[in-house]
Amino acid sequence: MSTTVTPPPKKVNRIGLEILNYKGLKTTLCAGCGHNAISERIVECFYELGIEPYHVAKFSGIGCSSKSPAYFLGQSHGFNAVHGRMPAVASGAILANHHILGLGVTGDGDTASIGIGQFMHQVRRNVPMIYVIEDNGVYGLTKGQFSATADLGSKLKTGVLNDLPPFDCCALALKWGATFVARSFSGDKKQLQALLKAAIVHKGLSVIDVVSPCVTFNDHEGSTKSYSYMKDHEEPLHEVDFVPSYEDITVEIPEGEVREVVLHDGSRLRIRKLDRDYDPTQKISALAALEEAEAKGEVLTGVLYVAPEKPTFIELLNLMDEPLATLPESKVRPSKEVLDLVMEELR
């Protein structure tokens, strides 16, 4: 006797793809590494937003964090570049084809130490892309040396104390003119998802610094980037929800409780006030909040700043709509008449 079992209908997103289409290879990072959680959130966000994987290109530098793009979005092109220079590669690729959605994933060593210069200039140019810093305060891949985001007085596993002050990538990005700055924690699933989605739809460069503990080299007592430290010191600025542009807003928003920031494509960030009334469109208050939190030893998370309409580098360059990469010869090689004219001028 045989029974036919109808398989349950496969779950698909709004463009008909399964979550499998967004997954990558099995991770080779340590179990419990914060970077793995971030990879999972990336998979969910792109799936839930219904973005075509071929539309995305992943970029990274060198480090455990920079290896992670192999572990998500397997149907997207990826480029594991050189240490600290992911921004340059991403810029070049985005100039070649500004229709691709650039997703940069880097570490605190990759961005705040060797790559601080490129980070700075990427922000300054507002190159349209997502810039995720998986911040664990150490160099994971070279086995646990301090990076430039390590807090003053934090301790390595070997007992060595950090005697230099940290770079705060969010505060620096704000100073350099970033148009989207957020901080999150790899353990805060809901917040990280909302922030990543907002970063994906933001028109310009979106910086998200995600505290992402390194379980192997920086998760001990005395570390300021450990799970337990974050549990005690994370201070969410607000509760954030992301409402994509293609979803109707049905819920009434109670006056005074919630702020809305409308992003370039019509998506919204709904920000529910917690202890304070924080306006993420004000750069000065963002900088002040970061300074205050640092003084109090708190790690502020949430959307620090967003300027949805600032022109991107692509707009400044006045590029054609068609990707430069695929322009036909007729569009890139001037005619014989042009050469004749130039030759005449040189006679």
3-state DSSP call for residue 25? coil
The residue among 102 and 308 lying less far from other proteins, judged by its C-beta, is 102
Sequence-ordered list of residues with C-beta below 8 angstroms from that of 122, at least 6 positions apart, any chain: 87, 90, 91, 129, 131, 205
Question: Residues 30-69 vs ligand SF4: string with x where CB under 6 A?
Answer: x--x-x----------------------------x-----
Choose the one of other proteins, ligand SF4, Mg ion, none that binds residue 198, judging by a C-beta under 5 to 8 angstroms depending on kind: none
Q: Which two tokens stand for residue 176?
A: 């350099």
Decide if residue 107 touches ligand TPP (CB under 6 A). Answer: yes
3-state DSSP call for residue 342? helix
Cα dist. 187→79, 93, 282, 291, 324 in Å?
A: 26, 31, 27, 23, 40
Question: Residues 124-163 vs other proteins: string with x where CB under 8 A?
Answer: ----------------------------------------
Decide if residue 87 touches ligand TPP (CB under 6 A). Answer: no
Q: Which of 136, 179, 186, 224 binds ligand TPP (CB under 6 A)?
A: 136
For 102-127, give one letter per residue: b (16+ CB within 10 A) or e.
bbbbbbbbbbbbbbbebbbebbebbb
| Phi, psi dihedrals of residue 205, rounded to the nearest 5° | -80, 130
Residue 39 has, within 13 A of its CA and on its CB side, a CA count of: 25
Restricted to residues 53-82, the positions that interact with other proteins (CB under 8 A) are: 53-55, 57, 59, 69-70, 74-82
d(CA 314, CA 308): 15
Min CB(71)–other proteins separation in Å: 10
Part of the chain binding ligand SF4 (CB under 6 A), chosen from 29-37, 179-187, 259-267, 280-288:
29-37
Decide if residue 140 touches ligand SF4 (CB under 6 A). Answer: yes
Q: What is the CA 226 to chain-centroid distance, rounded?
A: 21
CB atoms < 10 A from the CB of 262, how many?
14
d(CA 208, CA 33): 18
Decide if residue 18 touches other proteins (CB under 8 A). Answer: no
- Beta bridge partners, 145, equal 139
> Helices in 153-216 by DSSP H: which ranges?
169-175, 189-201
Part of the chain binding ligand SF4 (CB under 6 A), chosen from 51-59, 179-187, 201-209, 215-223:
215-223
Spatial contact of 83 and 60, defined as CB atoms under 8 Å apart? no
Decide if residue 142 touches ligand TPP (CB under 6 A). Answer: yes
Q: Which residue is nearest to ligand SF4 (CB)?
A: 140
Restricted to residues 88-107, the positions that interact with Mg ion (CB under 5 A) are: 107
Q: What is the CA 82 to chain-centroid distance, rounded?
A: 18
Q: Which two tokens stand for residue 116?
A: 């601080």
The residue among 150 and 196 lying less far from Mg ion, judged by its C-beta, is 150
Part of the chain binding ligand TPP (CB under 6 A), chosen from 38-46, 59-67, 258-266, 285-293:
59-67
Q: Which of 136, 162, 226, 312 binds Mg ion (CB under 5 A)?
A: 136
- The residues binding other proteins (CB under 8 A) are 21, 25, 52-55, 57, 59, 69-70, 74-82, 85, 87-97, 99-100, 117-118, 120-121, 317-321, 323-327, 329, 331-334, 336, 338-339, 342-343, 346-347
Site residues, ligand TPP (CB under 6 A)? 62-65, 83, 107-110, 134, 136, 138-142, 147, 214
